[in-house]
């Protein structure tokens, strides 16, 4: 009996020791290191001359106010400068979203950076073809004039004839002015009350 108890205790001690060894081994093992990938970010600025907008300036398709306005640059905005007009009054800039991705701004309204930057001379694009205004022959216009058309008369309002409403004759007129029946009823009621009173007095 005692031998069996000793064996059981010995087995339990061995199991506990084995578990302690496993826990110690797991704690001593180095934790897996996470691999961090570094993403290189490339930052850069456009090379070449730039324009700085001190105040709002219009952007046009060509070097002149006769070209269509396609946008506006606000104060503090910078854009790459690509060239200049033959007279130097206008500067060509990169402007995505329009034909050729280039447009023009008036040079006195912007600041060129660097100031000594040399810009190539760019020939201006052809101006837009003026729109043709359709003209009408005066003779045809006179024939189609609406001044000779007689005015349209609006319908006049005609009130509807009055409807004759029948008048109801009074009850007295219908009875021909005879004795009112309400008086007869009241007389009978008075007589009944008198008879009832006499009967009660006789009973006493």
Q: What would the two tokens of residue 148 be?
A: 């000779």
User: Higher-confidence residue: 197 or 42?
Assistant: 197
Q: Mind listing the pLDDT tens digit for each residue in 138-174?
A: 676 666 665 556 667 777 777 777 776 666 555 544 5
Q: Please compute the mean of the pLDDT values over residues 59-76 and round it to a whole number.
A: 93
- Residue 54 resides in a domain: yes
- CATH code for position 80: 2.30.30.40
Res. 137 pLDDT band, cuts 50 70 90: low
- Residue 105 resides in a domain: yes
- Residue 16 resides in a domain: no
| Element holding 52 (H helix, E strand) | strand 50-52
Q: Mind listing the pLDDT tens digit for each residue in 12-38?
A: 767 766 676 676 666 655 545 444 334
- Number of structural domains found in the chain: 1
Q: Please compute the mean of the pLDDT values over residues 64-81 and round it to a whole number.
A: 93
- Residue 91 resides in a domain: yes
- Are the C-beta atoms of residues 62 and 89 closer than 8 Å to each other? no
Res. 41 pLDDT band, cuts 50 70 90: very low
Q: Please compute the mean of the pLDDT values over residues 196-203 and round it to a whole number.
A: 74
pLDDT of residue 91: 94
- Residue 172 resides in a domain: no
Torsion of CA 181, 184, 186, 188, to 10 degrees: -140
- Residue 104 resides in a domain: yes
Helix (H, G, I), strand (E, B) or coil at 161: coil
- Residue 70 resides in a domain: yes
Print the domain residue range for 84. 50-113
- Are the C-beta atoms of residues 57 and 73 closer than 8 Å to each other? yes
- Residue 27 resides in a domain: no
Radius of gyration of the chain (CA): 57
């Amino acid at each position: 009996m005692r031998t069996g108890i000793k064996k059981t205790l010995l087995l339990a001690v061995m199991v506990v020791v084995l578990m302690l060894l496993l826990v110690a081994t797991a704690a001593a093992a180095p934790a897996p290191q996470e691999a961090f990938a570094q993403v290189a970010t490339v930052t850069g600025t456009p090379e070449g001359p730039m324009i700085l907008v001190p105040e709002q300036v219009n952007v046009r398709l060509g070097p002149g106010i006769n070209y269509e306005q396609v946008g506006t640059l606000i104060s503090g905005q910078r854009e790459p400068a690509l060239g200049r007009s033959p007279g130097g009054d206008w500067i060509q800039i990169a402007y995505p979203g329009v034909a050729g991705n280039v447009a023009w701004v008036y040079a006195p309204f912007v600041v060129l950076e660097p100031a000594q930057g040399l810009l190539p001379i760019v020939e201006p694009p052809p101006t837009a073809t003026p729109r043709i205004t359709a003209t009408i022959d005066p003779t045809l216009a006179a024939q189609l004039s609406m001044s000779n058309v007689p005015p349209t008369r609006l319908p006049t309002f005609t009130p509807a004839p009055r409807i004759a409403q029948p008048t109801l004759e009074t009850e007295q007129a219908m009875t021909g002015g005879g004795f009112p029946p309400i008086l007869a009823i009241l007389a009978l009621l008075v007589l009944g009350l008198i008879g009832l009173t006499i009967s009660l007095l006789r009973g006493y």
